[in-house]
Amino acid sequence: MIKDKNSQKRASYHHGDLRSQLIDATRQLVEEKGPDNFSVSEACRRAGVSTAAPYKHFKDKTAMLREVAAAGMTRQSEQMLTELAPHPEGTLARIIALGRVYIRFAITEPGVFRLMFTWSGETEEDETLYALGDQKFSVVQLEVAKCLGRSEITDEDRQRAFMLWSFVHGLSFLSIDGKLSDGKMPADLETLLADIAQRVVPEAA
C-alpha cells in the first residue's frame, strides 16, 4: 500500500507541475535567504523532489534563478499597469502611482527584487531579462510623454524618465537595506514621490 502511494506521488510530478514547484521553491528560498545563499539541493528538498529533478528543466542553478527573476519582472510590470488604471491619462498621478508600486514590489519581494538586478547582460539569457526591464522602463517613458502632451517618446522624455527611475530605484534599495529607519526619511513616501514627479515633470503639475 505504501509503495502504491509513493508511486502515485511520483507520478503526480508531471513536467509542468515539477517545473512550477521548483520555481516556487526557488522563489521562497530567495526571499528567505537571499539570492547569494540559494542552493539547488535545498530547493529540491523544499519541492519534495530528487536532486536530479531540476536538470530535466533547467541547465543549472543560474537558470533556475534567472527564471525566478524573469517571473518577478513580469509580476512587477503587471502591477505597474494595474496601478495606472484608476488614474486619468496624462496626469502626474500616474507617474506617482508607478513609483509607489515599484517601491512596494521591492519591499514585498526584496529577495526577488535584488535578484532582478544581478545579471551582467553577457549571455542571450541575460539579454532576455534586459528586454523585460526595458519594457518596464518604456511604460515610465510613455507616461512622461503623455504628461507633456506627446503620443511619441522623445529623447527628452527618456531623460526625464531615467531621472524618475533613478530616484525610485535608489529609494527602493535604501528601503530594503534598512537605511531609512529611525526617522531618516525627510517626508512620507507619497510626499516624496509627488515632489520628485513635480520637479521632473513640472509642466504637468
SS3 6: helix
Residue 4: its pLDDT value, please? 45
Question: Are residues 99 and 80 part of one domain?
Answer: yes
Would you state the cell numbers that stand for residue 98, as one nine-digit string? 508607478
50 with 116, same domain: the answer is no
18 and 91: one domain? no
Return d(Cα 53, Cα 11) in angstroms, integer: 13
Contacts of 63 (CB under 8 A, 6+ apart): 125
Same domain, 46 and 140: no
Mean of pLDDT over the chain: 88
Total number of domains constituting the chain? 2
Give the per-residue pLDDT at 8: 44
Report CA-CA distances (Å) from 49 to 37, 52, 92, 142, 146: 20, 8, 49, 45, 50
pLDDT of residue 17: 86
For the chain, what is the radius of gyration of the CA atoms?
21
Tell whether the model's pLDDT for residue 169 goes beyond 70: yes
What's the pLDDT at 205?
A: 64
Q: Please, how many CA atoms are within 13 Å of residue 70, restricted to the half-sphere of its CB?
A: 14
pLDDT at 12 over 80: no
Q: What is the mean pLDDT of residues 165-184?
A: 88
pLDDT of residue 126: 78
**Beta carbons of 102 and 76 less than 8 angstroms apart:** yes
Separation of alpha carbons 99 and 97, rounded Å: 5
- Give 131-184 as a DSSP string: HHHHHHHHHHHHHHHHHTT-SS--HHHHHHHHHHHHHHHHHHHHHHTTTTTTTT
Note down the domain range covering 20: 1-58
53 and 18 in one domain?
A: yes
Share of the chain above pLDDT 70, in %: 88
Residue 6 maps to which CATH number? Answer: 1.10.10
Contact by Cβ (8 Å): 93, 87:
yes
At 56-88, the pLDDT tens digits run 889 999 999 999 999 999 999 999 999 999 999
The predicted pLDDT at position 124 comes to 73
Say yes or no: 71 and 35 in one domain.
Answer: no
CATH number for the domain that contains residue 179: 1.10.357.10
Residues 110 and 177 in one domain: yes
Residues 86 and 103 in one domain: yes
Are 54 and 138 part of one and the same domain? no
Gap between the Cα atoms of 177 and 110, Å rounded: 9
Residue 65: how many CB atoms within 10 A of its CB? 23
139 or 10, which is more confident? 139
Q: Are 19 and 78 in a shared domain?
A: no
Question: The C-alpha cell of 157 is what?
Answer: 522624455
Q: Is the pLDDT of residue 9 over 80?
A: no
Same domain, yes or no, for 93 and 185?
yes
In the predicted model, is pLDDT for residue 175 greater than 70? yes
How far, in Å, CA of 25 to CA of 31, rounded?
10
**What pLDDT is recorded for position 101?**
97
| Whether residues 115 and 140 fall in one domain | yes
- Whether 38 shows a pLDDT value over 70: the answer reads yes
